[in-house]
């Protein structure tokens, strides 16, 4: 039997689950505010995993991912502890904004302080009340407004075999080895010896069923890897390939974009990805790829200014092979291909 856990002055006994309202600074209307936290505290000892979403308030796919994970039939029988925070940036979520009211980015404000900016104080609350208790973190994100991301895991894998194994257990075909950004949740976690993954999929302010399903499957797979829940009896072959670098392809001219390459597609050097025209169609500029790789992100807005990022490419020498993994993975997650009944009705 593991020991009780206390968050925001509330103690959760082993073998129970509880929802907690973690107090945060109030709105300027003097309306109180809180961060919703759900804790599933298993009877037997094990890892303490945090899954959190909406660190950027307009990135909402993770909210639905966490709802589905908490509703999963195996969650009540886990070993260790699952802490789920579907909405970290409550203020940005309410205003449908990436940022806090003072325009600060919460994911550049860790570890924070009690006397700093609003973002710094929120980061400090999260560190003291939640992160200091965790052994592992999965932080759920999406692309920005009008930018779509292929389901992918980002993690700092340099000299860290434990985090690499954790990343591979998520089961997405694309893993990006990324450096840690100053002030990010992942950087703060690393300094505390906590393995942290960042899951990117979909677009801000939209639900994407494939991205949601990939996130749920990935979290459950990672929990199995950590020994928190049983491993699947019929284990599927998970082929994840690590990319060591990515780059944005930017619009060479301003105009109206016609993209001809979808997310997940392999590209070769000098492949045409899109055309940019003036409104009359008298001037046409080709957008080409400078390298081999996979399209892991793209803009959905056909109106672009010169210099805007329009395609995000992960460099892979074996791009065609990775693309096949991605195609099979998407087919498996497509709700029209479901072969068994599910309690979750697909969002459309």
| pLDDT, tens digit (0-9, with 9 covering 90-100), for 199-252 | 999 999 999 999 999 999 999 999 999 999 998 776 666 789 999 999 999 999
Listed in order, strand segments (DSSP E) in 42-94 are 48-53, 81-85
Q: Looking at residue 339, what is its pLDDT?
A: 65
Give, in order, the Cα–Cα distances in Å from 214 to each of 81, 87, 161, 226, 334. 22, 19, 23, 18, 10
Residues 146-160: what's their mean pLDDT? 95
What Rg do the C-alpha atoms of the chain give, in angstroms?
Answer: 21
251 lies in the same domain as 176: no
Residues 73/109, Cβ–Cβ less than 8 Å:
no
% of the chain with per-residue pLDDT over 70: 97
Residue 155, class by beta-carbon neighbours within 10 Å (0-12 exposed, 13-18 middle, 19+ buried)?
Answer: buried
Asked if residue 250 belongs to a domain, the reply is: yes
Same domain membership, residue 94 and residue 72:
yes
Domain boundary among 211, 241, 271: 241
Residues 121-137, mean pLDDT to the nearest whole number: 97
- How confident is the model at residue 237, as a pLDDT? 64
298 and 186 in one domain?
A: no
> Tokens in use for 101?
């009211």
Same domain, 102 and 167: yes
Residues 86-103 have pLDDT tens digits of: 999 999 999 999 999 989
Angstrom distance (rounded) from CA 64 to CA 69: 9
Question: Do 193 and 87 share a structural domain?
Answer: yes
Give domain status of residue 174, yes or no: yes
Kindly state whether residues 216 and 256 are assigned to the same domain: no
Q: Evaluate if residue 341 carries a pLDDT over 90.
A: no
Distance in angstroms between the alpha carbons of the first and the last residue of the chain: 43
Average pLDDT, the chain: 95
* Long-range contacts from 64-68, C-beta under 8 angstroms, 24+ separation: 64/207, 64/212, 64/347, 65/140, 65/212, 65/215, 65/216, 65/219, 66/140, 68/212, 68/216, 68/344
> Which residues 6+ apart lie within 8 Å of 216 measured at CB?
65, 68, 69, 72
Domain extent at residue 137: 5-241
- Tell me, yes or no, whether 314 lies in a domain: yes
In this structure, the answer to whether residues 220 and 324 fall within a common structural domain is no
pLDDT of residue 338: 78
Instruction: Give me the sign of the Cα torsion angle 130, 132, 135, 137.
Output: positive
Q: Are residues 194 and 58 in the same domain?
A: yes
Examine the fold and report which residue of 185, 220, 241 is the final residue of a domain before the chain moves on. Answer: 241
The rounded distance, in Å, linking the Cα atoms of 143 and 149 is: 5
Q: Which residue has the higher pLDDT, 314 or 317?
A: 314
C-alpha dist (Å) from residue 272 to 246, 263, 298, 299? 18, 14, 14, 16
pLDDT, residue 343, reads 79
pTM: 0.95
Residue 345 lies in a domain: no
Residues 207 and 299 in one domain: no
Assess if residue 128 is contained within a domain.
Answer: yes
Which has the closest alpha carbon to 216: 337, 333, 323? 333
Domain assignment present for 165 = yes
CA pseudo-torsion sign 120, 203, 311, 268: positive
What is the token pair recorded at 213?
Answer: 């399903």
Domain CATH code at residue 314: 2.40.50.100
Binning pLDDT at 50, 70 and 90, where does residue 336 land? confident
Token match 């920005």: residue? 144
Residue-level pLDDT at 236: 65
Query: Which whole-number Å values give the CA distances from 106 to 55, 60, 78, 258, in the listed order?
Result: 7, 15, 31, 34
- One domain, residues 40 and 68: yes
Question: Is there a domain that residue 341 lies in?
Answer: no
Same domain, 231 and 256: no
Please report which confidence band the pLDDT of residue 178 belongs to, taking 50, 70 and 90 as the band edges.
very high
Mark which of 208, 241, 274 sits at the end of a domain: 241
Identify whether the C-beta of residue 122 lies closer than 8 Å to the C-beta of residue 185: no
Looking at residue 319, its pLDDT comes to 81
* Domain presence at residue 63: yes
Q: What is the CATH number of the domain that holds 45?
A: 3.40.630.10
- pLDDT at 124 exceeding the cut of 80: yes
Identify whether residues 174 and 68 lie together within a single domain: yes
The total of structural domains in the chain comes to 2
């Amino acid at each position: 039997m593991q020991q009780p856990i206390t968050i925001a002055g509330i103690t959760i006994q082993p073998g129970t689950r509880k929802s907690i309202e973690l107090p945060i600074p109030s709105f300027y209307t003097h309306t109180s505010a809180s961060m919703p936290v759900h804790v599933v505290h298993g009877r037997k000892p094990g890892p303490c995993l945090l899954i959190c979403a909406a660190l950027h308030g307009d990135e909402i796919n993770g909210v639905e991912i966490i709802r589905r994970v908490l509703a999963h039939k195996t969650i009540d029988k886990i070993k260790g502890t699952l802490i789920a925070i579907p909405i970290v940036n409550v203020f940005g979520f309410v205003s449908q904004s990436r940022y806090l009211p003072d325009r600060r980015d919460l994911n550049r404000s860790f570890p924070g302080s009690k006397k700093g900016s609003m973002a710094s104080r929120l980061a400090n609350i999260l560190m003291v009340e939640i992160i200091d208790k965790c052994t592992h973190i999965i932080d759920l994100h999406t692309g920005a407004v009008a930018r779509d991301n292929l389901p992918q895991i980002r993690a700092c894998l340099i000299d860290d075999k434990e985090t690499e194994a954790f990343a591979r257990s998520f089961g997405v075909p694309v893993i990006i080895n990324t450096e840690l950004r100053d002030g990010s949740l992942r950087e703060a976690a690393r300094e505390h010896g906590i393995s942290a993954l960042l899951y990117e999929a979909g677009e801000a302010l939209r639900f994407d069923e494939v991205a949601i399903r990939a996130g749920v499957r990935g979290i459950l797979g990672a929990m199995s890897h950590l020994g928190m829940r049983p491993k699947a009896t019929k284990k599927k072959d998970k082929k994840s390939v690590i990319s060591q670098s990515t780059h944005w392809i930017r619009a060479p001219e301003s105009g109206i974009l016609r993209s001809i390459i979808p997310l997940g597609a392999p590209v070769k050097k000098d492949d045409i990805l899109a055309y940019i025209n003036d409104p009359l169609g008298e001037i046409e500029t080709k957008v080409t790829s400078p390298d081999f790789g996979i399209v892991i992100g793209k803009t959905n807005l056909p109106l672009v200014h010169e210099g805007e990022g329009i395609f995000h490419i992960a460099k892979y020498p074996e791009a065609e092979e990775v693309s096949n993994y991605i195609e099979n993975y998407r087919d498996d997650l497509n709700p029209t291909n479901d072969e068994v009944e599910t309690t979750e009705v697909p969002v459309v």
